[in-house]
Amino acid sequence: MTAVTPFSGLTSNALAHIRNDWLIWEDDFIKIRVPPEASCNSFRCGASGRPKAPAILLEREKPCARCRKEGETNEFENKWLGGKKEGGAPNEWYETIIHQELAGPAADFFNMVFNVYGRPEIGLAPSSISKAAHSVGKKHVDKNEEPYTKLIRTGAVLYAHYGLSANDIAELTPFSPRSVRRIVYKTPEVSLNQKDSLTVLKAISDREPVTVEDLSNEIEVKKAGTHHRLRRLKQEGRVTVSNNHSGRPAATWKTTENWAAKFSCDKCEFKTHSLCGIRTHREQAHD
């Protein structure tokens, strides 16, 4: 669970109550839509009796302590860290995305729980997840900061290390781009100094056809982050891919004829060479 927490960005309350019908399974990612209110777990975890075996699900006779404490019913109101994401209503559901490649440990966990073992829900108590986070980070966490909150925030730093921009990270987690920047700036070893889109496209053009591995070495961005960028550029019609399959030969990428053109806003005359920039403009000016 401590491996899932940073990548999912979910509060301990949401993570403990998560159930299979909150998940949308896609080829590249698992989307988790957390409702504004959800009933308490129907089950609780019991001792398995076998080493490394999943905990047995037992019928829960009463709501968990968190639900009993915070609500008059058996439901909890699920507010993201007590606030809201930019542009969202306070009680709106929020989404988080577990990317199959970028967040492998978290994706494997959800696949094991809900597909391999077919469990309807995780069935844990929020307090048990918080205790796990505390045991992992008690030697490294500021005494004035909640250990679980600290663990959640490491996810944004991990994604930045992969080479993703603040906007990319905000799309994968409940954090806003502004919050992502604040988190990353507190980690001197990691930065959001990204290679701009034109630099990446020129590197592809100069070496095409190029593999993800060769391109990541050239632009000095992790392979997972490079792959994420290539998919974005492909969606914008700036690159194409061949041999896009698992195994050898590795997939190779080429630029299209208009690779050097500026990205244009479809609602006004704004143009920029930065893919991140055009997406930020669309969000701020038109969304």
Q: What share of the chain is helix, strand, coil (3-state, %, to 5)?
A: 40, 15, 40
Q: pLDDT above 90 covers what percent of the chain?
A: 10
Q: How confident is the model at residue 149 (pLDDT cuts 50, 70, 90)?
A: confident
Q: How far is CA 216 from the centre of its chain?
A: 21
Q: How confident is the model at residue 190 (pLDDT cuts 50, 70, 90)?
A: low
Q: For position 161, what pLDDT does the model report? A: 78
Q: 72-129 pLDDT, tens per residue? A: 566 766 666 544 445 554 445 678 899 888 888 899 999 989 999 899 998 888 888 8
Q: 177-188 pLDDT, tens per residue? A: 888 888 887 776
Q: How confident is the model at residue 38 (pLDDT cuts 50, 70, 90)?
A: confident
Lowest mean pLDDT among 60-69, 73-82, 238-247: 73-82
Lowest mean pLDDT among 129-138, 210-219, 225-234: 129-138
Mean pLDDT value across residues 244-257: 78
The tokens 């993570």 sit on which residue?
15
DSSP, collapsed to helix, strand or coil, labels residue 271 as strand
Strand pairing report for 271-272 and 239-242? unpaired
Q: For position 281, what pLDDT does the model report? A: 77
Q: 165-175 pLDDT, tens per residue? A: 888 888 888 88
Lowest mean pLDDT among 19-23, 60-64, 220-224: 220-224
Mean pLDDT of the chain: 80
The set of residues, in sequence order, having a beta carbon less than 8 Å from that of 18 and lying 6+ positions away, is 10, 32, 34, 121, 122
Q: pLDDT above 70 covers what percent of the chain?
A: 82
Instruction: Give 208-219 as a DSSP string.
Output: -SB-HHHHHHHH
**Does the pLDDT value for residue 23 go beyond 90?**
yes
> What phi, psi does 60 have (nearest 5°)?
-90, 125
Mean pLDDT value across residues 251-260: 89
Higher-pLDDT residue of 143 and 7 is: 7
In the DSSP assignment, the letter for residue 40 is P
